[in-house]
Structure 1
Amino acid sequence: MKKILTASFLFLVALSAQGQTNVPAAEVQMKAAELAAPTEKREGAAVYGYDQKGELVLLRKGTNEMVCLADDPNQEGFSAACYHKDLEPFMARGRELKKQGKSTKEVFDTREAEVKSGKLKMPEQPTTLFVYTASDDNFNPATGEVKDGYLRYVVYIPYATAESTGLPLKPEGPAMPWIMYPGTHGAHIMISPPMEKSKQ
């Protein structure tokens, strides 16, 4: 029995150590997260990343209006994001609800109700989100380098509609802006540049 308990303990320790090695160093996370931001905004952006327990933590305080979010090492593929700091309450609430196990629809509906009630504040001005993605094999967790990444753009305009913006409800050509979730708190302009053939 003692041998079984000892073996079980060592197995759990090994699993814990294995999980910890999946989290890149803070410097690496910051370097990769910054790739989602415009070049002139990278150095002053605040950066959130993950500690060795897999918890989201502030890695660096910002000096400008941008907030960058490092890739989640527990999710498939590489994905970093940078957004205007006025979107942080909206983004943080989304992360909180997802951590509670809420579905995408539940997250959307909850935030919609909270924005309408005044509990959750959305920016009064248009605010931008940049999302930079790549496949796992194109991200080097030791150096933070990303090859063949894909950058898309989102501009949040709460409660905007196709009529108020003149935008279509779906793109009719490569990189054509269009509006998603019109008339809701999450209304935003989507801009998805054509993906290079090598990245498809």
Structure 2
Amino acid sequence: MTCPEISATAGLLVLLASSAVGQTSDVTVESLMKRLDGVAPAEVLANATLLNPTDSGDMQVLREGTNGWTCMYPGTNPMCADEASMSFLQSWMKNEDPPDTLGFVYMLLGDEGASNIDPHAEAETPDNQWVVTGPHVMLLGSGAKPLLDSYPTEVPEGAGQPWVMWPGTPYAHLMMPMP
């Protein structure tokens, strides 16, 4: 994925992560690396492209990576995504059919929540099954579809059980909580 494609994808992520407002463009590689510490294995983060949302909502490329991973802290949901996942996320944000890929995302610092059934919900409602997930990884894309029938579509009781998020949509993916 080229730098403009990464910037476009990440910019789209920031649009939904409205809590990114207030982050500044004066973030350094060092300060972002400290904020991202623990979001993915150190080996992934060490050589990943680093993106930072600015006050204007644009994405600032702080460092070009060499390992095919992109790490960012859009709003309150820090993540590291491989190239296939970035394509999937871009399709999701544009409400387009996702590419025929299998992608992997680390979110080992957890998230602030999302609807389990509506891929485009921006806030919790009484009927959108809002779920806040602790540390987890995700398998995204058509390559994950063969696995989806083996897992529940609602968040299981108790920690550590995988489930399918956004079932019945083109963006269904496997959520796997991590200890």
TM-score band by shorter chain is 0.5 to 0.7
Aligned ranges 1:103-182 → 2 under 5 Å: 111=95, 114-115=96-97, 121-125=98-102, 127-131=103-107, 132-133=109-110, 150-158=134-142, 160=145, 165-170=149-154, 171-182=156-167
The Cα shift of 1:133 comes to 4.2
Unaligned runs of 5+ in 1: 1-18, 73-77, 95-106, 116-120, 136-149, 195-200
Alignment of 1:51-66 (within 5 A): 51=54, 53-66=56-69
Task: Write the distance in 2 (CA, Å) between the matches of 1:157 and 1:192.
Answer: 18
Q: Which of residues 26, 32, 47 in structure 2 aligns to 1:44?
A: 47
Going from structure 1 to structure 2, the CA distance change for 1:45 and 1:169 (only over 3 Å counts) comes to same
- CA distance 1:181–1:161, change in 2 (3 Å): farther
Matched, 1:187 2:175: no
Q: CA separation in 1, counterparts of 2:169 and 2:85?
A: 15
TM-score normalised according to structure 1 size = 0.53
After TM superposition, the structure 1 = structure 2 runs for residues 3-18 of structure 1, keeping only pairs within 5 Å, are none
User: What's the RMSD between the two structures over aligned residues?
Assistant: 3.2
Q: State the shift of 1:160 in Å.
A: 2.1
CA distance change for structure 1 residues 167 and 185 in 2, over 3 Å: closer, same or farther? same
2:77 alignment partner, one of 73, 76, 79: 79
Aligned length: 134
Q: Comparing 19-28 with 59-68, which one deviates more in the overlay?
A: 19-28
| Structure (1 or 2) with the greater helix fraction | 1
Query: 1:25/1:188 Cα in 2 relative to 1: closer, same or farther (>3 Å)?
Result: same
Instruction: Report what 1:29 is aligned to.
Output: 32
| C-alpha distance in 1 between matches for 2:57 and 2:149 | 40
Q: CA deviation at 1:193?
A: 4.2
Report if the CA contact (8 A) 2:25-2:60 is conserved: no
What secondary structure does 1:191 align onto?
Answer: strand
Larger Rg: 1
